[in-house]
Structure 1
Amino acid sequence: MVEKLRGYSEDITKKDHAIFSKIVSDKLDKWQINQVLTPSEIYPRQQYVIATHWHPEFVPMELNQQRIETMFPNRKDELIIPTQHNELMSYGPYTGAEVDCYASGFDEKVQLLIHFETERLQDNDTMLRSMLAHTRKYRSSQLFDFIHSFTKPIDERLHAAAKKTGVEPSAVKFACIVVGKIEQLLNEHWDSVPEFSMRNKLIRNYIDALRPEFGHRFIDRVQTFVQEVKKIVKLSFPLEYFYRASEIIEETRHLGGSIIIPHPEQFWPILLGRYDVDGYEVWNPQSNRYTEFLIDVVNEHNKYRKSSSKQLLILMGDDCHQGEKTRRKDEQDPEKTGREIGLQPAWDDLNIQKKLIRGGVTRQGIIEEYRNRLSG
C-alpha cells in the first residue's frame, strides 16, 4: 500500500478522466438498470402505497415506476409524489420537491416537502422554479467550499477532521490529491457536467471508484475523514442566502400546493413555529426515534384546532435516494440502499398503530385526504 500511495500521481490520467466521466454521467449501464428493476423484497400484502418523500435523482421515472409495480403487485391505491432536492419533478398526476430553506425564528436550515397536482401548476410556477434554481445554485457553492478545504487548503478544517477521525497523514494527503484532481476535472469539463452532479456526493463517488486499486480498508478510512470535513463545511455554511421557510410556503400556497414538514426531530423548534403546513412526517428511516411522541403532538394539536381549520396530517416518508440503487454493491451505503419508495414499516408497528388509531389515522385515509387537498 505504501508503494501504491507513493506512486499515486497528482497529474490527471486517462483513468481519472474515465472515472470522472462515469460518475457525472446520467446514462445507466445495463447492470445498473437491472439493479433498479430488481428489488430485494416484494410486498404482496401491502394494498396502499403512499410515497411523498423520495428522490429520483438521475434514475428515469419509467424505471422507478416499474420498481414500484414490482414491489407492490397487489396495491389498490397509491399516492406517489417525487421530492427531488430543490427541483420540481413529476410522477403521474403529481409534482413535488424537497426545499432547503431558512427558519429565521430559530436560525437553522430546515426542509419543506412541497406537493402539487401537476395540472394546477400549468404555467404559473415561474417564480417558484426561479426560487428553486437559486437554491440549487447556492447549494452547489457548498461543493466548492468543500473542495477548497482540501485544495487551498484550509488547514484548521483538515486538522480538526483528522483529529476527530484519527486517520493517518497518508489518508489526509491522499484525499487532498484526489480532491485536487476532481477540481481540475470540473474546471476542464465545466460546460458538460450535468447540474445534478454538482453536489457533495461527487467527491464520495469519485473516491469510491478507487476501491479496486487501493482496497476497501484504506478507502473507508479516507471516506471517514472526508465526511468529517464535510460536516465541518456544513456547520460554517451561511444560511441567510436561502429563502425563508415562510416565503416558500407562501409561494406554494399561491400555486395551490400543499406542504409537509419532513423529519421534524432534526430541527425541533419548527414544531412551535405555527407554520401554515398540512402535516408532519413522523417517521422516516433516518429519523424515527420519536415517532410515537410526534404522533401524540399532532393528535394534541388537532384536538384544539378550530373546527374551521383543517386537521394536521400524519405522514411517513421513505426518504429513498434512487441513485444509490445504481451503485456497485460494494460501494453502496447499506442503510440508504435499504430505503424503498413507499416502504414505511412503522405503519405496521403494533405500538405505533395504537397511537394512530387514537387519531383515526390509516394509510388509506391519509392517501384519500391528501389527494383531496391537492386537488383543491
Structure 2
Amino acid sequence: MTSNQEKLCGCPGDVKVDPEITDDERQIFRDVTSTELADWQIEQIVTPGRTFPRQERVLATHWHPEFVPMEHIEKRVNAMFPNKQDEMLIPTQHNQILSWGPYSGVEVDCYASGFNQKVQLLLHFENERVENAHVLKSMLSHTFKYRSSQLFEFMDTITNHHEERIGEAARNSGADDNLVEFVRVYVTKIQQMLDESWSTINRSAIKNKLLKNYFDALRISYGDTLINRAQAYLKAVKKIVKRHFSLKYFYRATEVIEETRALGGCVIIPHPEEFWPILLASYDVDGIEVWNPQSQRYTEFLISVVNQKNANRTPGQKKLLIMMGDDCHMSEKTKPVDTQDKVKAAREIGLQPAWDNLSIRKKLVLAGIDRQTVMNEYRERLAG
C-alpha cells in the first residue's frame, strides 16, 4: 500500500490521487461494465445456495435478468424448485421488454401527475402481442435513455463542483474535503473511460450502480474503511440527484396503461409502499403487489385494501388480483460472494415466503387466493 493510500484509510492529511488513469483502473472499468460471464460466475448463477423441494407452484412476475442469459437462469430456477409442477415466470427488466416462455414483461418508470411523483408499473403480455408494439417500444426506449441519463447528472454533480448539492451530501454522510476530492478524482476518471468506450459499451451498464460497483472494486487498493465512507457519500449525492431529477420527460402512468391495454396486456402496481397515493388513483390495473423484499411491513393491510376494493367494485369491473414479487436482480449473483449485497443476493426468482406465512395465509384463504388461483386467473387475462 502506498503512502497516499495509507492516508486515505482514515488518516488525516491531504489526499492526493494521480489524475492519470492507470492500466489497473482501466481493467477495473472493463470488469465492472462487462456483460461476459466467466466460468466461476456461470457456476455461481446455476448453483443456488438453497433449494425448496416442497414448493410445487412457482409464480414470478417481478424480477430482473439484467445481463444474465435466460438459459443460466432456467437452470437455477429448476435447481431451486426441483419438484415444481406449474410455473409462471415473466421477466420485468427496467424499461426493456424481455420474454420467458410464452410471456413478455417490463417494469416501466412513469410519472403520476395526480401526486407529482415517479412511479413504476409492471406490464405483462403474451409474446405475440408485443411483436409489433412499435409505439410501446419507442416509449420504453425513450424512458430507458432518459432514466440512464441520471448517471450523467450524478457524475456531473460530483465532478463539476455543484457546491450546494455537494455540501448537503457531505454534511449528510460526514464526508470531509479529502474524501470529497478522492471521490471527485475517481468519478472524473470513470467519466473519461465511459466516453472513451462509448461506441462499444453495453448500454445496460449505464446506470447509477456503475459508480457503486467501481468503488467496491477499489477495496483491494484502499481498504474497506475508506471505501465504505466513499459509498456513504456517493449514496447521499445520488439521493439528492434523484430528488431533483425532472419528471416531465417520463410518460404519464395513464399513457403507459392506455398503450398496454390497446395491446391486450396486463398491468400490476409493484411495491406500493413506496408511493401510497397510487392506491387512491383508481388506475386501470389488474392487481397490486402486496409483498416484495423491499415492501413487507404492510402486507396484511394491503391484502385488506385489495379485498375491500373487490367487495366494492361496480358490476362488470374486474377483480383486483393479489400479487407478490421477489424483485430479484440477477447481476448480484455474478459478483464475488464477499462483495455481494447480502440483502439483494438473498432475493430469488419465485421465492415469496409471504404466501406461506401462517398469518398472511389466513387472510389469503378467506379471500380464496393462493399461487395457483392467481396463476390461473392471470393466464386467462393475458390470453384476452
Note whether the superposition's TM-score is higher than 0.5. yes
Q: Which residue does the alignment assign to 1:184?
A: 192
> 1:293 maps to which residue?
301
Partner in structure 2 of residue 265 of structure 1:
273
Percent identical residues: 56
- Which deviates the most, 323-332 or 164-173? 164-173
The alpha carbon displacement at 1:150 in A equals: 1.1
Query: Residues 317-332 of structure 1: matches in 2 within 5 Å?
Result: 317-332=325-340
User: 1:216 Cα deviation (Å)?
Assistant: 1.4
The secondary structure found in structure 2 opposite 1:267 is helix
CA displacement at 1:283 relative to structure 2: 0.3
Aligned to 2:256, the other structure's residue is in SS state helix
1:216-255 to structure 2, matched below 5 A, reads 216-255=224-263
**CA displacement 1:78-124 (0-9 Å, x = unmatched):** 1100000000000111100000000001100000000001023232x
Q: Which secondary structure does the structure 1 equivalent of 2:105 belong to?
A: strand
1:120 aligned partner, one-letter code: R
Asked if 1:213 is matched to 2:221, the reply is: yes
Cα distance in 1 for residues equivalent to 2:37 and 2:329:
16
> Gaps (5+ residues) in structure 2?
9-14
1:3 aligns to what? 4
Q: How much has 1:331 moved relative to structure 2?
A: 1.6
Aligned counterpart, 1:79: 88
In the TM superposition, residue 7 of structure 1 has moved relative to its aligned partner by 5.7
* Alignment match of 2:50 (pick from 41, 45, 62): 41
SS of structure 2 residue aligned to 1:215: helix
Query: How does 1:14-25 map onto structure 2 within 5 Å?
Result: 14-25=23-34
Cα separation, 2, equivalents of 1:121 and 1:166: 48
CA distance in 2, matches of 1:145, 1:212: 28
Shift of 1:11: 0.7
Deviant stretches of 4+, over 4 Å:
none
The 1-side partners of 2:225 and 2:80 are apart by 34
Which of 172, 180, 198 is matched with 1:172 structurally?
A: 180
Q: Which moved more, 1:88-97 or 1:149-158?
A: 149-158
Q: In structure 2, what is the Cα distance between the partners aligned to 1:120 and 1:329?
A: 39
Cross-structure match for 1:133: 141
Bigger Cα displacement from structure 2, 165-174 vs 11-20: 165-174
Taking structure 1 as the reference length, what is the TM-score of the superposition?
0.98
Matched, 1:160 2:161: no
Q: Which of 103, 107, 112 does residue 103 from structure 1 map onto?
A: 112
* Of 169-178 and 245-254, the range deviating more from structure 2: 169-178
Alignment-derived partner of residue 92 in structure 1: 101
Q: How much does 1:271 deviate?
A: 0.5
Render the CA deviation track for 1:34-86: whole Å, top value 9, x for unaligned: 11111110000000000000000000011111100000010110110000000
Aligned counterparts of 1:261 and 1:129: Cα–Cα separation in 2 = 20
Q: Which residue number corresponds to residue 359 of structure 1?
A: 367
The Cα shift of 1:9 comes to 1.3
- Please say if 1:121 is aligned against 2:130: yes
Shift of 1:215: 1.0
Which of residues 135, 138, 143 is equivalent to 2:151? Answer: 143
2:199 is paired with a residue of what secondary structure? helix
Letter in 2 for 1:175: V
Q: How far apart, in 2, do the equivalents of 1:8 and 1:147 lie? A: 18
* Equivalent of residue 292 in structure 2, options 277, 284, 295: 284
Q: 1:314 aligns with which of 310, 322, 331?
A: 322
In 2, the alpha carbon distance for the partners of 1:122 and 1:233 equals: 36
Q: Deviations over 1:171-229 (max 9, x none)?
A: 22211111010001011111111110110011111111111111112111110110110
Q: CA separation in 2, counterparts of 1:121 and 1:22?
A: 34
What letter matches 1:47 in structure 2?
E
2:62 aligns with one of 48, 53, 60: 53
- Corresponding residue number in structure 2 for 1:112: 121
Provide the residue aligned with 1:68 in structure 2. Answer: 77
In 1, are the aligned partners of 2:16 and 2:182 still within 8 Å (CA)?
no
Over the aligned positions, Cα root-mean-square deviation in angstroms equals 1.1
What residue is the counterpart of 2:346 in the other structure?
338
With 321-330 and 81-90 compared, the bigger mean Cα shift is at: 321-330
Alignment deviations for residues 290-313 of structure 1 (CA, whole Å, 9 cap, x no partner): 100000000000011124222100
CA distance in 1, matches of 2:180, 2:379: 51
Cα separation, 2, equivalents of 1:82 and 1:292: 26
Does the residue aligned with 1:288 lie in a helix, a strand or coil?
coil
Q: Residues of 2 paired with 1:170 and 1:62: CA distance?
A: 46
1:369 and 2:369 are equivalent in the alignment: no
Give a deviation string over 1:273-325, Cα, whole Å, max 9, x none. Answer: 11000000000001111100000000000011124222100000000000011
Q: CA deviation at 1:149?
A: 1.0
Q: Secondary structure at the match of 1:190?
A: coil
CA distance in 1, matches of 2:122, 2:4: 49
Query: In structure 2, the residue corresponding to 1:276 is in which secondary structure?
Result: coil
Could you say what secondary structure the match of 1:191 adopts?
Answer: coil
SS at match of 2:284: coil
